[in-house]
Structure 1
């Protein structure tokens, strides 16, 4: 995916949040590690574990299991290989939570796209690694040199799906595929529309990889690779 093809806009519910505050962090009151939700059943590595029934007289445990089941439903379906990768990340970083990561990644997707559309290099610098940032920066500079601006709308994110996950040399990576509907307009220096239309949304499929060193005290996940689906 080139930055020129990534088309942007957002209703900025997540704007202003640092990526680490929305990606992969467990809620303070939760205690169950990620491997408890993704460890394999006997003979089926990586398959989600089905929780055993709670004790009848243990309302606290029953409530915890219901919360666990709810969070499992929030995690997109993934292949056994991806589930094993998520389990590896959970074992390396006990704070990691797959459902929270997906929710945060959707917010980060919106934040990064809008920052690119607005030409907000400072926001992109915080959310992207050096290589991805350099690509966005070059596209923004080229757009400014041409006197063009983007007036785009992210209508909705239709689907977020796991593509890959795992840990390599203490570095965690998670790849997600975003399928979204976007309305895009390019304007010239006088504000005239030279391409696109806000009346017609088109489907966009982006495959993004986020990474983080699991042994680092810095909790940030950064966007380190972009591609088209």
Structure 2
């Protein structure tokens, strides 16, 4: 089951395992590495999103019409899959991954993202460090998280989620001086993240496999 999908409804369990990931478009903040936007799409399995708990009804804006058939395929491949729980986990992963990227936490990114996505993040972090820049960003709120695509191919489920969020961002130089952004004005961001997981894997977690701007 690849593709951003049924993330941990039990956010507590998810957070306990500290699973995180990052990416997308953001004005006034450091853009995500393009490499990640252009070359992600491989199925992985690790520990970023876990689905557990009782199934719950989903809201009217949580699944785009074009993703319904794909979600049926995911459920057919894994009857335990629950969309509402997945979205809960996806939102937690979105926050955690962004924060790991902003802080340069490569250890967290190691097990929250697939290799190519992780490599792109690590490269961007290295460039940022070399320039002496430090990100002081904050995810203010996630206005909406909705499944836009879903599929199952070669035993791997993939789910794409659109995140509409507000992010306050600041870039500081080595001396702590603000060189870009503002913490008083949140910027609207629109990201498309794809999570993936091998359907028959004993590991219930999903990894970030692709990112793009919405």
Please classify the TM superposition score into its range, dividing by the shorter chain length. 0.7 to 0.9
Distance 1:152 1:16, change over 3 A: farther
Structure 2: unaligned runs, 5 residues or longer:
1-11, 20-45
- Partner of 1:142 in structure 2? 127
Pick one of 89, 94, 97 that aligns with 1:104: 89
Q: Give distance in 2, aligned partners of 1:87 and 1:108.
A: 23
Contact 2:163 2:192 in 1 (8 A): yes
Structure 1: unaligned runs, 5 residues or longer:
1-12, 31-67
Pick one of 184, 188, 191 that aligns with 1:206: 191
Larger Rg: 1
Q: Give distance in 2, aligned partners of 1:202 and 1:138.
A: 24
1:74 deviation in Å?
4.3
Q: Give distance in 2, aligned partners of 1:203 and 1:83.
A: 27
1:17 deviation in Å?
3.0
User: CA deviation digits over 1:133-181, x for unaligned, max 9?
Assistant: 0110000001111111000111100111111011111110000000001
Aligned residues: 176
CA RMSD of aligned residues (A): 2.0
- Partner of 2:51 in structure 1? 25
Pick one of 183, 186, 195 that aligns with 2:180: 195
- Partner of 1:113 in structure 2? 98
Q: Give distance in 2, aligned partners of 1:182 and 1:169.
A: 36
- Partner of 1:218 in structure 2? 203
Q: Give distance in 2, aligned partners of 1:186 and 1:16.
A: 30
Contact 2:139 2:167 in 1 (8 A): yes
4+ long deviations beyond 6 Å: none
Contact 1:151 1:184 in 2 (8 A): yes
- Partner of 1:56 in structure 2? none
TM-score, structure 1 as length reference: 0.71
TM-score, structure 2 as length reference: 0.76
Distance 1:75 1:215, change over 3 A: farther
